[in-house]
Chain A
Amino acid sequence: MDLYNESQKRKLEFTTRRHFLKQCTTGLGGIALSSLMGPQQLFATNTNPSFDPKNVPHFLPKAKRVIYLHMAGAPSQLELFDYKPELKKLHDLDCPKSLLEGKRFAFIQGTPKMLGPQFDFKQYGQSGTYISDALPHFSQIVDDVAIVKSMHTDEFNHAPAQLLLQTGSARSGRPSMGAWVTYGLGSENENLPGYMVLVSGGKNPSAGKNAWGSGFLPSEYQGVQCRNSGDPILYVSNPNGMSRDIRRKSLKAINDINESQYKEFNDDETLSRIAQYEMAFKMQISVPEVMDVSKEPDYIKDMYGAKHGEASFANNCLLARRLVEQGVRFVQLYHWGWDMHGDSKATSLDQGLKTKSEEVDQPMTALVKDLKQRGLLDDTLIVWGGEFGRTPMRENRGGVVMPYYGRDHHTEAYTIWMAGGGIKGGISYGETDEIGYYGIKDKVHIHDLQATILNQLGINHEKFTYNFQGRDFRLTDVHGRVIKDLIV
């Protein structure tokens, strides 16, 4: 919505609704979250099509919201999902030239050795899906998820690959998926940002904040990062010593003055300013509430493995559920530290990958189960995966043997999983060759994944464009096709 359209909308509201801060003459401290988070839908688009230049959704959506669990650093598919007994047999043999010629790798040089899977696999569920021993919890929910084994990408370095995945382009400057989605669909809750980002693992992803930036879309669509310490959202708290009561009085004065200004200048954008300050006040109440997981019952916290005060993936999964419950449109999680090159214990497949898997296995499983038991899984799409895969060869950086088992970056094939939001459960989609080097059936490119995610939200990725620098841009650039076989 541009500023003009927004101001028009605010004008309508102004004439039809009494002022929020005026109604609340007794202070707002006691007002429960629920009443603030009622079905206001101020920002939700399509209540008045004349305000919506994009005409989305293009068709009836299956998913209303997305939780994207991005495993930054790129987990090894060969240790977690893509079971390759043949690769075990080839362990420690020289990699054939045919797999190396004409290929560019980040670190592999000369002739590396093949590297067998470092974990055992078993079959689970009615679907008989193979899952590695590294994911004991996840193996219980295989019938609820679709595992895509034939993902492939164009980029073999983290930052560009993460950008390609999150923004559709390997170069900085494009809007992220969440920005596109909130630009198209708005938020279901005006008191919370429509696109929120939670980071764990100790570091931001390689692509930095560009991974949740708004690119050339207006900045209001950028992901809002929830912080692990201090203000949960930057500047949401009043300065020390300024109580909510004082803030309310101050905001009332601001809005009274702005009304007087409106009378003088007759500029509808002043009404937008008034609404902006009201929303800021509501956000000051709703953000700390929704971010406070301490009120969750113990059995729920245990289910996720969430512990108060930790900046963990478990806490973030629980927060993600709370956020989508409150109508946040797109929740993006990053869990850093999957880059297992084998140059240290922490980046080894047998040790480092095990630790990382333990960090995510229980919480991601709990998230699926929890959404399911609340009836939210049907219209919430969950996507889990990294930015690329790992080579079936052992990394030999600089042509020498690494101290631990590790794999280099691999673009040709890797695995992600999806659940809910109209995605089939209990299926595996796509196949790789017997060593997991190439996808050989039903290959899915990053742009296909993006097209499919948008499709579940009711958006035709080819029609969903934004003009910048004189050119119509799409999330999927000029590519992408919806993977129909994944859809219920």
Chain B
Amino acid sequence: MINTHNFTYLGFSIFILLAFTSCKQEKIDFNAQVRPILNKNCISCHGGVKQSGGFGLVFRENALGETANGKIGIFPGSPEKSEMISRVTHKNTEMRMPLERDPLSKEEINILTQWIEQGAEWEEHWAYLEPEKAEIPDLESAWGNGEIDAFVYKQMQAQGLSPNVEADSYDLVRRVYLDLIGLPPTTPQIERFLKDTSEKGYEKLVDSLLASPKYGEHWASMWLDLARYADSKGYEADRGREIWKYRDWVIKALNEDMPFDQFTIEQLAGDLLPNPTKDQIIATAFHRNTLNNGEGGTDNEEYRISAVIDRVNTTWEIWQSTTMSCVQCHSHPYDPIKHEEYYTSFAFFNNTSDWDVPSEHPIYREFDDIDQKELEHVKKWVASVASKEEVNKWERFVHVQEPKIRPEDFDEVSNTVHYNRAGQDYMVISNNAMIKLKNVPLKNVDRIYLNYNQHGKPKGRLVIKADSINGSVIGNLLLNKTQGFNNVPIKINTNSELADLYFVFESQNEDYKCFIDGFLLGEKLPAEDHKYHTEIYNKIDKLLNTRAKYTTPIMVEKSKDFSRVTKVFDRGNWLVPTDTVTTSVPKLLNPNNKQFKNRLDLAEWLVGDNNYLTGRVIANRFWAKLFGKGIVMTSEDFGTLGDKPTHPELLDWLALNFSNEWGWSVKKLLKTIVLSDTYKQSSVISKEAKDKDPYNQWLARSPRVRLSAEQIRDQALVVSGLLSDKMYGPSVMPHQPDGVWTVVYNNDQWITSEGEDAYRRGLYTYLRRSSPYPSFISFDASERETCLSRRINTNTPLQALITLNDPVYFEAAMNLAQQVDIIEGGKKEKVNAAYKKVMGKKISKEKSDILTHLLDDTEAYYSEHKDEAFELIQSDDLELASLTVMVNTMMNMDEFLVKN
């Protein structure tokens, strides 16, 4: 395209003209050239929220509109009419933009000018564009074995870097063990690998690690950080929460390599799948990891909303790395997402029946053997008279007891008080109380369960009338004293399919009182005439009130007849609801205006074909775990303010393969990465690489990354032979000093686990949010209050004090010392043997000398201070005492705490 004013140069030779125009008229790339200038200099004042002078640059229509002083900010085609250009070039520094900062460079101004000249076209931010199948760089290089290496090598070359040599085999095998299963290899494991000199030796090792059950345990930590999994509810009393079945679900799903799309759908909406299995329902505990405020006097609706907000923010962060939380109070300051779009997302999560009560309802109740047998009996009977779907339905009804019609759903009430504070959440019923439910579907209902609790002896009567307060009586119940809340069935006799129901409570006793938590509509059990029909009904009713062995909080959608209405909260304040909205996702990500019904639609869309973000975001998360940082460093933010990918083509290549070719297999993704030469490089840092690339963005070496909190503890237990292989089950309490738990209004105690439970992998350690396991927190583990995309490694003296003095580490040292104590040979041999157990390889002479010298010194000291030696190890064995000190020293070496 030739711009008109270039025709003034027609006097020049064609050659010069062409050269000139091709130089000047090259199409400006909005994302590559313009957006960085805007983001760096303009957007903090001229964004989506703050639009100083009436000029905002997030939405194109704002930027092209009239500003506060009546001028046009950006006039496509005419830089001279665009206020933006006149202000960035203004002579008066008080008028010149950016205000009180250095002016834009000439080049930057040129870019903006040309861009406006060319029509000021907007382009979507890179992350929202469809990934393109990039051409694999065809580089004539001896280095690299696949696509990853080709992309990485191309960037390395561009930066004037060259690849590092391959890592020492010992370092590599330790690295790949730590990366794939989270544990270091034992000496025999290393030797087995080194013996296998076949071409596929390394690949075989990788396959075996991916097949190890320890793989799922390791990668679960990353997912549990995102899912903010913990064993307590948070806030004041921070009481325990039984939700470890979800943790176990994650481990199993990872070990089975459940495709990531299914992994997504089951966690977000497993309950909405047709005939969901128990596991699919347990998976939905994912979003029940939100905090629950049981403090006396707290408003349950306030904290229910708080949990829903967290579910919205967490979902968008994990799968889309989009900072939806910004939009809770106002439109997005940097990305084109509008305020009300937060609440269309909110609507997906606003219709589950949980309500911030300490009982955590709805819960999946699992039974002991006796009750489970009863349930099996019921299932068998239903299977004999009806379909599989019917079996699934009744099984769920017994386990979950939902959907419940709760006080919030009551249409009208009289002589009742709704307590809705903390644990006291129910309707208080007095004599002559009435509850009206509107439009109750009764088509297939032959009983209604009343969930109620009556402390006192006086009897009451509940009468259910249809259509009006004076309507026909369709059911009634005598109300007696109960033991806590019970589900009591009321037989219903009616032919109507839809009716307003009036529940009237009466008693001879003026002071009559009971508490009700709601109603369950009982659908008709099939085969009414069957001889066991009544017996089965009785079994079901009994099971509905039986004590559960295990419970797990889960997601249950409210029935469509009693669903919640979602409103936009003015400035994010739930006490100021405004417009009503329905489920949808922001237009930015849904240009075709696809319609969404519920959470299942949302979950399917997240992993659907037209979602370009999920593949990138998730592939980046796994990459980041292996390399210490992502291709997009800000794994939590792929938006305008997030970092740009260092290797965009590689990211797209990984994303496309992950979501298509590899069928969302995480194991295939990881395998491809760890088989690359990029991954296998040495972490020795050359001076040149350090100067040119101090942050190792261009991957001309393997990163040296400190192990995670869990890995540091697990590793100490592995090398000392203490680690238990036991998987799954309730969280455990390894040794922790007295007095760490002193939580108000809660007498829960940290009771040190016995036997092997004291030596389980770190991820099984009980995580109380208000008082997490001290050594994990010091080593930067998450407190699991909110979704955490990246742990930030720090370096503090408190960490050193843990690995030096925490009894867990000291016990590990002593245990290993005992093993080397019995080895034949002198000090040197023992030092060398201990090092081999700890690091898996032969010790260098220098290190061996240092440690042998320490051993000499310590032994000399202890022979003079035998009482101290005894105190240390509770034994007279002086050699063991000094060996323990030596091993304790070894377990604090930098090389032990990082992966090389």
Contact = CB atoms under 8 A, between A and B. Distances in A.
B795 A203 contact: no
Contacts of A206: 235-236, 295, 744
A311 B794 CA distance: 31
B769 A208 contact: yes
Q: Could you say which of A241, A247, A266 has the most chain B C-beta atoms within 10 Å of its C-beta? A: A241
Given A208-B769, A237-B805, A336 B744 contact: yes
Contact of B683 (A106, A262, A267, A284): A267
B260 to A, nearest CB: 22
A254 interface: yes
A157 B297 CA distance: 7
Interface in B407-449: 421
A6 interface: yes
Interface residues of A, number: 87
Contact of B298 (A157, A253, A266): A157
B897 interface: yes
Contacts of A273: 795, 894, 897
B744 A243 contact: no
A249 B771 contact: no
Nearest to B862: A246
B865 A471 contact: no
Given A469-B323, A469-B325, A280 B636 contact: no
B487 interface: no
Interface string A197-239: 0010011111111100100001110101001111101111111
Contacts of B326: 470-471
Interface string A349-377: 00000000000000000000000000000
Interface string B305-318: 01000000100010
Contacts, number: 255
Interface string A86-118: 000000000000000000111100000000000
A257 B704 contact: no
B639 interface: yes
Interface in B719-754: 737-740, 742-744
A265 B795 contact: no
Contacts of A202: 742
Contact of A243 (B695, B704, B865): B865
Given A173-B786, A250-B888, A239 B807 contact: yes
Interface in B779-804: 779-780, 783, 785-787, 789, 792-802, 804
Interface residues of B, number: 103
A454 interface: no
Given A204-B742, A206-B744, A254-B893, A218 B792 contact: yes
Given A203-B743, A237-B805, A231 B847 contact: no
A219 B854 contact: no
Contact of B641 (A231, A234, A235, A470): A470
A280 B236 contact: no
B584 interface: no
A458 to B, nearest CB: 20
A471 B323 contact: yes
B99 interface: no
B256 interface: no
A218 B685 contact: no
Interface string A265-289: 1111110111011011011100000
Contacts of A267: 683, 685, 704
A219 B846 CA distance: 35
26 contacts: A2-B792, A157-B295, A203-B744, A204-B744, A204-B771, A206-B235, A206-B744, A219-B792, A230-B737, A234-B801, A235-B805, A235-B806, A238-B804, A238-B805, A239-B805, A240-B871, A241-B868, A241-B881, A246-B861, A254-B892, A260-B846, A260-B850, A261-B895, A265-B684, A280-B801, A469-B313
Interface of B: 234-236, 238, 291, 293, 295-299, 306, 313, 317, 321-323, 325-326, 421, 634, 636-637, 639, 641-642, 683-687, 690, 694-695, 704, 706, 737-740, 742-744, 769-772, 774-775, 777-780, 783, 785-787, 789, 792-802, 804-807, 810, 844, 846-847, 850-851, 853-854, 857-858, 861, 865, 868-873, 881, 885-886, 888-889, 892-895, 897-898, 900
Interface of A: 2-4, 6, 104-107, 156-160, 171-173, 193, 199, 202-210, 213, 218-220, 222, 224, 227-231, 233-243, 245-247, 249-250, 252-254, 256-258, 260-262, 264-270, 272-274, 276-277, 279-280, 282-284, 336, 409, 467-471
